[in-house]
Amino acid sequence: MEHFSKGEKAAKIMFGYSALHVAFEKEEIDKLQKKLKELQGEVHNHEEYSLLPTQTATSPKKCFAEPRYPELQIPEHIVQFSISQIRKATNNFHSENIIGEGGYGPVYKGDLDGTPVAIKSLRPHGTQGFSEYQQEVIVLSKLEHPHIVRLIGVCQESCTLVYEYLPNGTLLDRLSKGLPWEDRVRILVELRSALAYLHSHRPNAIIHADLKLTNVLLDAGDASRLGDFGTARMVHVKPLEEETIIRRTNPMGTMGYMDPVFFTTGELTTESDVYAFGVVILQLLTGLDGLNVAEKVRGAVKLHSLLDMSAGPWPEVDSERLLKLALRCCSLERKQRPVITCDAEWRFLQILRGKAAPAKKARKWNCFAF
């Protein structure tokens, strides 16, 4: 049996993301599937926290098998709506009001006493369930940042979540309609700010775990909001040493954006978000699809030739440097990835931002009163 280094194993998994582009031997595919089943079986009934490199602790994973979901402790600033209010706001969940769809369930545009909102409804037999609903309430109720979607309220009767309404849809939608490079760079600065805020959260850092273009929403002025925190995880940070503590959990996320190291080991860290952010940077600079985008950029003879010129004339030198920084984010070695909270590591992004048009003012949050 062949023995591979950690980097080689991760590389094999990463190549597996693009089955349409790379022909794998059947034996290798079987090995990968067996490895994934072992990982899923290992963490199916529990999640571990482990202090790198040796300390571990376990906690049981809650299972909600009962048809009636347990009642959550909702913070006072999160409004609790009745099922009748939600039905009225969505015209009884009419299909004409659906503005999005995901594993959790449909997202409706609603109207609550004259205020436009987005209402995400739990589908009983969806790929995501009550645990994601619970996780999103727990995490978002603790956050307040101009570039993170704001949770306004919940309806426990129907397991629905009520958010601020963002009319310009997802970042993927917006890119398909054309987006100047200045706006792309500004959005990257905003997303980096949101991730730095999450990773700096104490006593528990927050890992988003599913950063991608469709989870970034835009308001009327194209200011961005990072959304969909159903897969987010809190990771304990040691107060003095700031040592990295990893969270062991089922591999989750979206192929193309998922950290290969997390996929192979089930060990989730803040570096997993950095990997996904690197993919997003490459997509915004090149206009390429996220699947295997790092390999495509690494294989380019001239990096500037990959810049998406539909966005306008990029500052080539600084753009190339940012492409190289994004490739570092996508490194198979986690230690090689830039730290999202370190300003010095992201100076090229800031340089590009300075060459773009003046920053647009983020829309101020409204004070909702229901």
Q: Which domains does the chain have, with CATH numbers?
A: 79-164 (3.30.200.20), 171-355 (1.10.510.10)
Between 248 and 19, whose confidence is greater?
248
Which residue in the list 210, 259, 273, 318 is annotated as catalytic? Answer: 210
Which pLDDT tens digit goes with each residue over 215-258? 999 999 999 999 999 889 998 887 655 555 667 777 788 999 99
pTM, entire model = 0.78
Which pLDDT tens digit goes with each residue over 38-77? 544 444 444 433 333 333 333 333 333 333 556 778 888 8
Q: Which two tokens stand for residue 194?
A: 């949101």
Which pLDDT tens digit goes with each residue over 102-113? 767 899 999 999
Active site residue 210: yes
